Structure 1
Amino acid sequence: MSTPYRQDMPPAGGFEALKYKRNLPLRGPGAYAIPGGVTAICAFGFWRLGKGNLERRELEREKMWSRIYLVPMLMAEGDRDMHRRQLSEYEKEKEIMKDIPGWKIGESVYSNAKYQTREIVLK
C-alpha cells in the first residue's frame, strides 16, 4: 500500500511577478559624458604637470645660480680656515721642536717637491 502522492502546485491565480528591473532615480552619465569627463580630467592633469615642470625648472635654475654665486665665498672661507689651521700647526711645531737647534718652522721634511703642501707665507 502506498500513500497517495500529492504534487506541490502553484497557488490559484499564479505566483506574484518577479521584480528584476532597477528602479533608480538616475540612469547615470550618457555615452558622450564619460569620455568627455575623462578627457577633461586628463587635460587638467597635463596642464598642472606643465606648470609644475616650469616651476621645478625655475627652482633648479635658481639653485644653480645661487651655488655659482656662493662658490667664491665658500672658497675664501676654506682658504681662511686652512690658513688658521696652518698657523695653529706652526705654533704646535714651534712648541714641540723648541729644543732642536737649526729646526725651521714650516719647512717641508721631504726633499722632493712632489710631497710639498700649499705654502702660506708667515709674516
Structure 2
Amino acid sequence: MPPPGGYETLKYKRNLPFRGPGGAVMVAGVAAVCAFGFWRLGLGNIEKRELKRENIWSRIYLTPMLLAEGDRDAYRRQQAALAREKEIMKDVKGWEAGRSVYHGDRHKPDQRIVLL
C-alpha cells in the first residue's frame, strides 16, 4: 500500500539552463566586430599612405642638401689629402702635390670631385 500522504510528485519537466544568446545575436555581433575591424583597417591604410607620401616628399626636399653635404665632405677630404701629400713629399725635389703621376690620359683616375 502507498505510504500515508501519498507518494512524492515526479519531476518530469525538462530543466535546461539558459544557453546564451541566440544565433541571430551571435551573427550580428560577429558582423559588428568585422565592420569595426574593417573600419580601423581603412583608417590604418589612410595613415600608412599619408606617412609614405610624407617620407617621399621629405626625401625629395632633403636630396639637394645631402648632395651638397657630400660634395663639401669630398672637397674637405681632397684638400686634407693634398695637405698630407705636401707634408709627406716636401723633401722630394720636383714633386708637385696634387699633380697626376700619369703622363697620359689612359691610366687617369676618375675626376668626379667638383671643386667649389
Scaled by the length of structure 2, what TM-score is found?
Answer: 0.77
Q: Which has the larger radius of gyration?
A: 1
Shift of 1:76: 0.4
Percent identity of paired positions between Structure 1 and Structure 2: 55
Q: Which one-letter code corresponds to 2:110 in the other structure?
A: Q
Judging changes above 3 Å, is the alpha-carbon distance between structure 1 residues 119 and 49 closer, same or farther for their aligned structure 2 residues?
closer
Asked if 1:52 is matched to 2:67, the reply is no
Matched positions, count: 107
Q: Is the 8 A contact 1:97 1:103 kept in 2?
A: yes
* SS of corresponding position for 2:90: coil
Which 5+ residue runs of structure 1 have no aligned equivalent?
Answer: 1-12
* SS of corresponding position for 1:115: coil
Q: Which has the higher contact order (CA 8 A, sep 6+)?
A: 2
1:1-123 → structure 2 map (5 Å cutoff): 21-23=15-17, 26-110=18-102, 111=104, 112=106, 114-119=108-113, 121=115
When the two chains are superposed, the root-mean-square deviation of aligned CA atoms in Å is 2.7
- Which digits, 9 at most, give the CA deviation of each residue in 1:6-48, with x for residues without a partner? xxxxxxx79x97xx8444xx44212211111101110110010
Which 5+ residue runs of structure 2 have no aligned equivalent?
Answer: 1-6
Q: Is the 8 A contact 1:108 1:116 kept in 2?
A: no
Q: Which one-letter code corresponds to 1:71 in the other structure?
A: T
Scaled by the length of structure 1, what TM-score is found?
Answer: 0.73
